[in-house]
Chain A
């Protein structure tokens, strides 16, 4: 794809493709999610399990803080010279028999991958779990071109068979419990044993049986990448089940789609991230399998290798000095697991494949703030996400920055927010003692609203948006000024 020089080139993720935008703003989606008691139970159970495991294995590392500092420094250094590291990566992969493609957005990445698969003559692909391909809606693009994608990660398989959307970065089916997974398997797997139980071990075996033949006969695989080393051209996929190894080893052709921010400068940088990532994500000292490959190895693994480097809003994110740290994310999902908002709403309410605290800062930057304006508000700013982040991304500060950006954007459009109108009215009222005293007396009318529970749960419009998510205390019978006058006999 080509573009004419001089065109405005902001580079946000385009609309109409991929999964970075929800159908409704976060508060509306969250209200629906909160009404689903099963969902809240499933997510509460899973996140409390993983929090305990993470805390235990992080606690046994004496130099955890030093590793976090190194992780952040490496990422910041990478972003500062991202152009030259990507060029270095490209040169090293090409020198080892791989082909590198550049995609400015989701549309172009989908076109490249579809063309590459078609060139192999295969009408199906096996897929390793990959956030980047979820982000760009690759499966939909392949299906539209007559190519069947088979998700092979257990959680992705549950999502795909359940005609569902991912709700967590690491475990896309975290919103499903074992009983629901059993039902999905019985309904959607033609080869499932009718006597299938809901034991996790039994469900895992059903997935093994279901995918075995696909692995052994697949000709094309599509993967993401956790890391790419510029100085060597080495790519890495971190996984647990062995589906990644199957996809990276058995097919003749491997196509990897990777966000440009995944590159790291040096081979030894991996010694930092291979310690930070598994302990932060699954709460293990090391994940069961990590694969690394450099171009093509004659006689071992895929003999044709393509890397698609994806922008899709990343350079737009990089352009904001106060927001670019969001690109440092290594997709561990520790911030989701500790977030009190995520724990209650689950991931679907965020409307993006990147949910939770990191999603609330990443999604609006990839799409432009106007398309995900409600996400920076989907947080209580408690700071737990910052504390667990293995690369020390200051998510709370970034949320406040994005809120300010949203408010500034509205102001620039000349559309004052309800808050701004209320504040303006308050300033007018409070600048005059008589107006203020009158206003205080008027609030006493509010006592009528809260007389049943001593709380006001619903104000009339336009003030209703304030009480949509909070209660107000019932106003007192008399104001401080009135009390003072009554007991001291004069105005304070």
Chain B
């Protein structure tokens, strides 16, 4: 590639230099052969099966997240109970515009591009999720239905996440294969935490310090 600033003789861009170095370095090395993928691709349990729900709940509790089970028509009541238990005044929570139900009550603030400062002044956020992983106690948000912009589940200090039983898969590979990588993805496993002081884990740093999971199970 000729650099217009340099003219002749021919000069190369850093891109060409790095790619050229790679090609020279690998040279005629033999192909390392196919990747062996003999690990478990699935967990053997159907999404939403009772053993996966129990495992998911166990993992979440291990991370100091709270779990509350209810039926589909009880979500609003469950969320209200959670908020009433944490605040002695009406909680101010934000919700994405496309929440599947009136889960956070009529007073919830609907996100229409709120500033970080505005979100910081609110008490919490209520969202749905995309997928969850039982073995690791992980919830994945992909910005899809009922999840909103990434910032609304980050700045408020309390995240109430509603997970449907059929969204819970067993293993990490099952989850990854359900996701669309073009979406902005956030994997959440418990409240924010750190191991930076003497390598002991403590919960609660910059992200939401409290994670409450509402697990929607069939009646």
A interface, CB within 8 angstroms of B = 1-5, 9, 11, 42, 45-47, 49-50, 62-63, 66-67, 69-70, 73-74, 76-77, 79-83, 86-87, 96, 102-104, 108, 152-155, 158, 171, 173-174, 177-178, 181, 200-201, 203-205, 207-208, 211-212, 215-217, 229, 232, 234, 240-243, 245-246, 249-250, 260, 267-268, 270-272, 274-275, 278, 282, 284-294, 297, 299-301, 309, 311, 315-316, 318-319, 321, 324
Contacts and interface: CB of A to CB of B under 8 A. Distances in A.
B184 A292 contact: yes
B165 to A, nearest CB: 20
Contacts of B182: 96, 232, 234, 294
Given A70-B36, A73-B32, A318 B197 contact: no
Given A208-B205, A267-B176, A315-B24, 15 more contacts: A4-B9, A66-B39, A171-B199, A177-B198, A208-B204, A216-B120, A240-B194, A241-B192, A241-B206, A250-B151, A267-B181, A282-B195, A290-B185, A292-B181, A297-B184
Contacts of A178: 197-198
Contact of B195 (A177, A215, A240, A321): A240
Contacts of B195: 50, 171, 240, 282
A232 B183 CA distance: 11
A70 B197 contact: no
Q: Which of B5, B21, B186, B206 has the most CB of A within 10 A?
A: B206
B18 A260 contact: yes
Interface stretch (B66-74, B84-92, B100-108, B135-143): B135-143
Contact of B12 (A3, A42, A241, A260): A3
Interface of B: 3, 5-6, 9-15, 17-26, 29, 31-40, 59, 63, 113, 116-117, 120, 133, 135-138, 143, 149-151, 154-155, 172-173, 175-177, 181-202, 204-208
The secondary structure that dominates the B interface is loop
Contacts of A108: 14
B43 to A, nearest CB: 11
Contacts of A104: 14, 17-18, 21
A297 B149 CA distance: 10
Contacts of A294: 181-184
Contacts of A50: 195, 199
B205 A311 contact: no
Contact of B202 (A11, A200, A267): A200
A445 B9 CA distance: 70
A250 B191 CA distance: 19
Contacts of B24: 315, 319
Contact of A9 (B17, B175, B199): B17
A315 B25 CA distance: 7
Given A232-B182, A319-B24, A2 B13 contact: yes
B176 A270 contact: yes
Contacts of A174: 199
B154 A242 contact: yes
B190 to A, nearest CB: 6
A315 B22 contact: yes
B9 A271 contact: no
A291 B17 contact: no
Q: Which of B136, B175, B177 has the most CB of A within 10 A?
A: B136
Nearest to A324: B25
Contacts of B33: 73
Given A80-B26, A177-B198, A216-B117, A249 B150 contact: yes
B17 A80 contact: no
Nearest to A168: B199
Contacts of B200: 49, 200
Contacts of A205: 204
Contacts of B190: 288
Given A50-B199, A293-B184, A216 B116 contact: yes
B121 to A, nearest CB: 11
